[in-house]
Structure 1
Amino acid sequence: MDAKRISTESGSDSPRDVKTPYITEPESEIPIFEGSAAVVDHHAERALCRKFDYRLLPVLAVMYLFNALDKGNLGNAKTAHLERDLGFKKNQYNIILSVFYVPYVLFAPPLGLLGKKYGPSRVLPLMMFSFGSFTILAVAVQNFAGMMALRWFLGMAESAFFPLVIYYLTTFYRRGELARRLAIFYAASNIANAFSGLLAFGVFHITNTPLYPWRYLFLIEGSLTVLFAVFTWFYLPLNAASANFLNEEEKKLAFHRVQTDSSSTVNEKLNLKDSLKIFLQPASWAFLTIEICLGVPLQSVSLFLPQIVARLGYSTVKTNLYTAAPNITGAAMLLILAFSSDFTRRRGPFIVLGFLFTFCGMIIYTAIDVLHHKQIAYFATFMMCWGTSAPSVLLSTWYNNNTPHEGRRIVLTSVGVPLANVMGLVSSNIFTPESAPEYIPALATTAAFGAFGALVAGLLSLYMVFDNKRRDRKLGRKLDIRDVPTELLKDGPKVPEFRWFL
C-alpha cells in the first residue's frame, strides 16, 4: 500500500508541514498512523487551553446568559400579570410562546451557514445586538399583536446562536476537551434562569411608576444585552490562527490540535452540496431523534418552571425566588456530568443518565399530592433541572465529535439544536390553562419523551460500541480513536479507519 500525502491546501493561511498520515510495513497490511491526535507536549497544551479558557469562555457564557434571559423572561413577566395588562384572551399566551419557534427553526440553518462563511466571531455579536434590541422594544408593546410580532423577530435573531457557539468552540478545542468547556458555557443558561428569577424578584418590587413592573424587566435585560454585544464585536478572535493573544508557536500548536483532533480541514471553505451529505449518514437521524426527545423536557422546564413551582402555593414574588435554587443545582449537575464525560471519553451513558433524572422528577411530581408534600415536590423540580441541561450539551458534543467535516458539522448542529428548541411548540401547547395548576397531562407527556430519549441514546451508544469492534476485527487490531488524525476522516464512517467517539 502506498503512503498517501496530505496537501498543504487547508483553507487556512496558517503554516503547515506536509505529513504522511499513515505508512504500511512490508510484512503487514496494518496501517501505522503519523500525526495522530495524541498529546505530545502536555505542558504546552495545558497552557494554550488556559489561554482559550480565560479569553473565550467567560465572554461566551455571558453572551449565552443574555440569550437565555431574553428568550425566557416571558415566563417571569407572566407571573407579574403580563396577560392581564396586555388584554390577552384564552390561550393567547401559549400562542406567543409557540410563534417564537417557527422562525427559530426556519432561520437557524441559513444563519448558521452565514456564520460558517463570515465567522462566528462576527455573526454572533450581530445576532446578540438584534435580540437585545427586540427585547427593549417589548417595553412599548400594547397588545397581543405587538408582542407576537416581537416574539417572531426574537426567534429569528436567536435561531443560530447556540449552534454557532458550539461550532466556534470546536475550532479551538480537541474533541475530548469540548464537553466540559461547552458545559461551562451552557451553565450560563441555568444561571440565567436563576438570575432571571432573582432579577424579577427585585424588579417586581417596583411600584407606583408609569410602567408595569414587567416592562422594567424587559428594559433592563435588553439594554444590558445590546451593550455587551458591542463589546464582543471587538473582543472575540476570528480563529485560533489569527488570535492576537497567541504567539507564533502557540498558533501552530492550536492549528495542529484542531487538524488532528477536531476537523478534517481547518477553516474549510463552505460547500453547501458537500455539507448536506451529513443527512446520508443514518447516525445523523438517530441524533436528531434524540434532539426531539430532549426538546420537550428541556423547553417544559425552561418555560414553565415558574408555573410548576407556583403550584406549591407560594406568592408571585416567592415563586420567582424559589426557581433560583433548582436552576443553580442544574448548572452544577451539568458541570459534574460534562467533566465526567470528558474524563471517561464517553457521551452516551451520561446522556441517558440525564434523561433519567428528568423522567424521575416528572413522575415524582405527578404521583404525589404536592400541597401536602411540598418538600418532596420541590425536590422533584431539582431533578427536573438536573436532567434537562446535561443531555443538551453532551448530545451536541457527541455528534460534533463524530463529524470531522466542518461544513457538515455546522449543518447538523444548525438543524439539531433548533429541532430540540422547536419542541417548545409541544410544551407550550400541553401546559394549557385547562390543566392548570396540576398540569398532569403535560408532566406525563414530558416524562414519556424523556424515557424514549434515554432508550434511543442507549441503543445508539451500544451500536457505536459494536460497530467499533466490527471495524477493529476487519482491521485486525484494536484502533484507538486517538490513533487516527481527523484530517483523514472527512467522509466519516465511510473511512475504514473511522472510529465512533462513544
Structure 2
Amino acid sequence: MDSGSISEHSEKHGPEHAHTAIAKLRDVDVAAALDSDKPLDPEVAARLRKKIDWHLMPLMCIMYLMAFADKITLGQSAVLGILPGANLTQNQFNWLGTVFYLSYLAFEYPQNLALQTLPVGKWMSVNIFVWGVALLCHAACKSFGGLFAVRFILGMCEGAITPGFMIVTSMFYTRAEQNKRVGYWFLMNGFAIIFLGFVSFGVLHTQTENFMPWQWLMVITGIITLVTAVLFWFFFPDSPTTAYFLTAEERAQAVQRIKINQAGVENKHWKRDQFIEAFTDPKVWVMALFAAVGNVVNSLTNQRQLIINQFGFTPIQTTLLGSVDGVVEILTIWLGVSLAAIPALGRGYTAVMCFVPALLGSILVSTLPSHNRIGLLFSYWIAIFVFVPFVILLGWMGTITSGHTKKTTVNAIVLCAYAIGNAAGPFMWKKHYQPRNHVPWAVISACIFTCAMLMLLLRFMLTSENKRRDAEKRDDTYDDVYITEVTADGKTIEKRVDRAFLDLTDIQNRDFRYVL
C-alpha cells in the first residue's frame, strides 16, 4: 500500500483526527488484525522461536534435501550408465541440464504469483508431488526426447520451492534469524550429495536384467519425494497467522516477534505499484546480475562426477568421493552463514571472503599437473566455497526487500537470473575441453571475480541508503492508519495499524533499514 492507496481509501475525521486514515483490510498485511502494542517478553519470544524451529526446520530440511537430490540425479547418473543407457551424446546430456533451467525460467514468475495468491504450503506440496511423479518417469525413458520432457516438468515444479522457502522463512523469523535458517535448509544440498553418493554406490552393485543402476536411482528418489509431498500437505503451515501448531495467543505473539523486520507477513492482494518498483530498484538488478553470473558456476553440480572421474578415479571411487563433496558443502555453507552473522562482517564481506578460496581452487584445478590426482581433488573441494555466497544472498534478499508483491517479484527476477546462469553454464563443458577443462575453469575464475565485485557494490549501495535515511527528517505519513474491526458484540471499532504491517515496500517505509 502506498500513500496514494491510503488517500484513495481514507476517511478524514474531525480536527482531533486530522492525520488519520482508514485503510481497506485487503491493502494491509494479513497480520495487521493480530498486531498488538503490548511488548513481547524475550523469554516468550525465545520459547516461541524454538517451537517454530521444531515444526518448520525438519520439514524444510527434508524437502530441500530431496529437491536437490532429485535435481542432481542427472549428474549422478553420468557414472551410472545414463549416457549409453539412454543413447545420449555429451551435447544431449548437457542439454538435459539446460532444459531444466529454461523451464524454471519460463515458470518462475507464474510460480511466484501463485505463491502470493494461494496458500504457500499447499502450493509447494502440489508441485512436490508432480515433481516426484516426473522423477519416477525418468526410469521409463530410453531416449533424449523422453528425458527432455521429464526434465522440463522438473524445472517447472522446482520454481516453487526456493522462493516458497524464502517467503516462509521471512514470515516466521526475524531478519537476524533468517540468514542462518536459510543456511540450514540450503546446506541440506550437501547431505543430498552424501545421500546420493551412498545410494549410487549401492545401485552400482545391482544385478537386474533390463534395469540399469541409473534407473534404480530415479525410482528410489522418486518414491521418497512422493512421501515428502504427502507430509508437506498435512504438516507444513502456510503462515504464522494460520499455523496449526500455534495457539491463537501464539499466533499473535509470532506476529509481534517479527514486527522488528518492518516487512510484515504477507498480503494476498497483488499491487501494481510494488510490481513496478521491483523493476525500477537498482539493487534488484545488482542481485540479479550476481545470480546470473554466479550460477554459471553451478553447472559444476551436473559435471562434478565426470570431473572427478576424469581426474583418474574409477566409477566406484568417484561415487564414494562424491560423498565428500557433500561434507565439504555442508561445512562451507555452515561456516559462511556463521561468519555472516558477525556484525563486523555481515553478508557482503563474508560473501567476498568465501570467493577467495573458491578462486584459488579454480585456478589450481586448471594449473596443477594431470598426474597429481590428489592435488586436483583437494583443489576442486576448495573451489566448492563458490556456492556459499549465493546461499548468503538468498538469506539477504528477504531482509532488504519488503512489500509482499515487491518481495515475490524480486524473488522471481533474481531466480530467473539464477535460471539463466544455470542454463548457460552446461554449454561451456565441451567434449573437446576434456579431461582438463581449462576453458570452463577459466570462465569460473572470471565469474568468481565479477561476483565478488558485485557483492561489494551491493553492500556500498545499502550502506549509502542507510546513511541517507539516518540524515532525513522522520516521515510520519504512515503513523496513523487504522482498519475497522467488528467485535464479538457487534460493535465497529477502529484499530491502529503499525507501519510494519501496512505492506509498505522498503523504499516507501523510511523507517526501514537495510541489513548489511
Query: Measured at CA, do residues 151 and 17 of structure 1 come closer, stay the same or move farther in structure 2, by a change above 3 Å?
Result: closer
**Contact 2:347 2:393 (C-alpha < 8 Å) held by counterparts:** yes
Q: Given the superposition, is the C-alpha separation of residues 137 and 501 from structure 1 closer, same or farther in structure 2, using an over 3 Å criterion? A: same
Q: Counterpart in 2 of 1:166?
A: 166
Change over 3 Å in CA distance of 1:6–1:464 after alignment to 2: farther
Q: Which residue of 2 aligns with 1:468?
A: 466
Shift in alpha-carbon separation, 1:47–1:485, aligned structure 2, 3 A = farther
Correspondence for 1:436: 434
User: Is 1:424 matched with 2:410?
Assistant: no
Partner of 1:41: 41
Partner of 1:456: 454
Instruction: Find the aligned partners of 1:197 and 1:279 in 2 and give their Cα distance.
Output: 41
Is the counterpart of residue 377 in structure 1 residue 376 in structure 2? yes
Mapped partners of 2:272, 2:33: distance in 1: 28
User: What is the CA-CA distance between 1:237 and the residue it aligns to?
Assistant: 1.6
Q: TM-score, normalised by structure 2?
A: 0.86
Q: Which amino acid aligns with 2:419?
A: N
Confirm or deny that 1:414 pairs with 2:412: yes
Give the corresponding residue for 2:443: 445
- Contact map agreement 2:136 2:222 (CA 8 A) in 1: yes
**Structure 2 residue ranges without an equivalent (≥5):** 1-16, 475-497
1:99-498 matches, within 5 Å, as 99-264=99-264, 266-277=265-276, 278-297=278-297, 299-344=298-343, 346-372=346-372, 374-388=373-387, 390-475=388-473, 486-487=500-501, 490-498=504-512
Cα gap change, 1:470 to 1:263, in 2 (>3 Å): closer
| Aligned mates of 2:198, 2:176 — CA distance in 1 | 35
Shift of 1:339: 2.7
Give yes or no for contact 1:160–1:414 (8 Å, CA) kept in 2: no
Once the 2 structures are TM-superposed, how far is the Cα of residue 340 of structure 1 from its aligned partner? Answer: 2.8
Q: Which amino acid aligns with 2:62?
A: V
Which residue of the partner structure matches residue 9 of structure 2?
none
Write the distance in 1 (CA, Å) between the matches of 2:416 and 2:239: 25
User: What amino acid sits opposite 1:339 in the alignment?
Assistant: S
Which fold has the larger relative contact order, with Cα–Cα distance below 8 Å and residues 6 or more apart in sequence?
2
2:375 counterpart SS class: helix
Does structure 1 conserve the Cα–Cα contact (< 8 Å) formed by 2:141 and 2:147? yes
Separation (CA, whole Å) in 1 of partners of 2:66 and 2:311: 29
State the alpha-carbon separation in 1 of the partners of residues 157 and 442 from structure 2.
32
Aligned residues: 473
Residues 131-180 of structure 1 show CA distances to partners (whole Å, capped at 9, x for unaligned) of 11111011111211111111111111112211111111111111111010
Deviation at 1:258, TM superposition (A): 3.0
Closer/same/farther in 2, CA of residues 187 and 212 from structure 1, 3 Å limit: same
Counterpart contact for 1:301–1:384, Cα < 8 Å = no
Give, as a single letter, the amino acid of the residue that structure 2 aligns with 1:399.
M
**1:361 is paired with a residue of what secondary structure?**
helix
- Equivalent in the alignment of 1:12: 30
Structure 1 residue 316, shift from structure 2 partner: 0.6
Determine if contact 1:301/1:385 at 8 Å carries over to the other structure. no
User: What per-residue deviation string (whole Å, max 9, x for no partner) do you get for residues 254-288 of structure 1?
Assistant: 11223441524x33123152341211111111111
1:423 is displaced (CA, Å) by 1.4
SS of the equivalent of 1:499 reads coil
Q: Which amino acid aligns with 1:498?
A: F
Q: Is the 8 A contact 1:493 1:499 kept in 2?
A: no
Q: Contact between 1:187 and 1:331, CA under 8 Å: does it hold in 2?
A: yes
1:500 match = 514
| CA distance 1:201–1:139, change in 2 (3 Å) | same
- Give the whole-Å Cα distance in 1 for the aligned partners of 2:18 and 2:316: 72
Q: Distance in 2 between matches of 1:68 and 1:500?
A: 30
Separation (CA, whole Å) in 1 of partners of 2:284 and 2:20:
29
CA distance in 2, matches of 1:262, 1:54: 25
Question: Does structure 1 retain, via aligned residues, the 8 Å contact 2:40–2:253?
Answer: no
Deviations along 1:426-448, one digit per CA (max 9) or x if unpaired, are: 22100111111111100110111
**Does the aligned pair in 1 maintain the 2:76–2:302 contact within 8 Å?**
no
Q: Which amino acid counterpart does residue 272 of structure 2 have in structure 1? A: K
The CA deviation at 1:421 is: 3.2
Provide the secondary structure at the position in 2 that maps to 1:79: coil
- Distance (Å, rounded) in 2 between the aligned partners of 1:282 and 1:401: 16
Corresponding letter in the other structure for 1:12 = V
| Deviation for aligned residue 1:109 | 1.0
- Aligned-partner residue type, residue 161 of structure 2: F
| Equivalent position amino acid for 1:190 in 2 | G
Rounded to whole Å, the distance in 2 between the matches of 1:108 and 1:80 is: 31
- Whether the 8 Å contact between 2:340 and 2:346 is mirrored in structure 1 is yes
Alpha-carbon distance between aligned partners in 1 of 2:42 and 2:415, rounded to the nearest angstrom: 33
Q: Distance in 1 between matches of 2:257 and 2:21?
A: 19
TM-score, scaled relative to structure 1: 0.88
**Letter paired with 1:221:** T
Whole-angstrom CA distance in 2 between matches of 1:462 and 1:93: 41
Q: Evaluate the alpha carbon distance shift between residue 295 and residue 262 of structure 1 in structure 2; reply closer, same or farther with a 3 A threshold.
A: farther
Is there any run of 5+ residues in structure 1 with no aligned partner, and where?
Answer: 20-34, 477-483
**SS of alignment partner, residue 269 of structure 2:** coil
Structure 2 contact 292–422 (Cα < 8 Å) conserved: no
**Distance in 2 between the 1:331 and 1:2 partners?**
56
Q: Give the match's secondary structure for 2:341.
A: helix
Paired with 1:117 and 1:449, the residues of 2 have a C-alpha distance of 36
1: CA distance, partners of 2:316 / 2:419? 28
Tell me how far 1:488 sits from its aligned partner: 6.7
Question: What amino acid sits opposite 2:71 in the alignment?
Answer: K
Measure how far apart 1:343 and its partner are. 4.2
The answer to whether 1:68 aligns with 2:82 is no
Shift of 1:489: 7.7
Does the 8 A contact of 1:204 with 1:213 survive in 2? Answer: yes
